[in-house]
A and B are shown apart, each in its own frame.
Chain A
Amino acid sequence: MAEHYSSFSRHGTGWLLQRLTAVFLIGVLAFHFMLLHFVNHAADVTFMGTQMRMQQLGYFVTMIAFLVTATFHGVNGVYNALVNQGLAGTQRTVVKWSLVAASVALVLQGIRVAFAMTGSPIL
């Protein structure tokens, strides 16, 4: 058995970004769950309450960062899982760009939703 195993420096940017987004998401996902299930109960959520939270700049920026990092981490994770299953060649290229398109659509819709939640909708 190896005395020390490390996969650091043996992979590309995607590998590193997956870890960096993981570190960010550990904190923000836990915060999101705590705030919207334990501090404010999910059953009591109203548009006015959401608007009050989203009108705070720090909270708004955190939620946008949450959306972008979660989308990258999740979709890149799906792509990695499919590659592990043996996805290759043309199929891999098609799946990769389909996932990129789905990610862009999700982030754009998420940003629309975030602005709407401030009470100042765009588009």
Chain B
Amino acid sequence: MSQSYDRGLVEDFGRWRDFSAGMWAWVFHKFTGWVLIGYLFTHIAVLSTAIPAAGGDPSIYTNTLQGLEDLLVVRFLEVGLLAVAVFHILNGIRLLFVDLGVGLTAQDKSFYASLVLTGAIVVASIPTFLVGQL
């Protein structure tokens, strides 16, 4: 049988010092979600250069993508995007288990594990993302 749990108002960010692990997980999941949906719209806008490319000028697509990749700031933003995506995926898996009622007593530990694993994957990926730029 389910039972409600008074977590207080998470939406009141002014009380962030009182946030527990689960509430930080909620905040980070929302933040990373906003970034990812914003990126999806931007991504389709950039990839839309495929339309004139298919019309006879393939260089417009290739030059746009390679031109962006030539910018160091874009490479760093991609590392940020990877961090955001990896955390959202790992915490999303954690949330699916929480929804199924699995591992509830370790939900705070699984949040910390998501953070540590995200950090490790991102650090290990930095050379691949910045190759040719530094």
Contact = CB atoms under 8 A, between A and B. Distances in A.
B89 A77 contact: no
Interface string A28-55: 0110010001100111111110100000
A49 to B, nearest CB: 9
Given A113-B47, A121-B54, A2 B3 contact: yes
Contacts of A117: 47, 50, 54
Contacts of B129: 37
A121 B5 CA distance: 53
Contacts, number: 124
A109 B44 contact: yes
Nearest to A99: B37
Nearest to A86: B11
Interface string B83-104: 0010001001101101111001
Given A30-B89, A109-B44, A6 B101 contact: yes
Given A74-B40, A77-B37, A81-B34, 20 more contacts: A1-B5, A2-B1, A5-B2, A5-B98, A5-B104, A6-B101, A22-B96, A26-B89, A38-B128, A41-B131, A43-B66, A43-B132, A45-B69, A71-B40, A74-B33, A74-B36, A81-B33, A112-B51, A113-B48, A113-B51
24 contacts: A1-B5, A2-B3, A4-B1, A4-B101, A7-B99, A10-B2, A22-B95, A25-B92, A37-B128, A38-B125, A46-B61, A47-B50, A47-B59, A48-B58, A67-B44, A74-B36, A84-B11, A86-B11, A106-B41, A109-B44, A109-B48, A116-B51, A118-B54, A120-B54
Interface of B: 1-3, 5, 11, 30, 33-34, 36-37, 40-41, 44, 47-48, 50-51, 53-55, 58-59, 61-62, 65-66, 69-70, 78, 82, 85, 89, 92-93, 95-96, 98-101, 104, 125, 128-129, 131-132
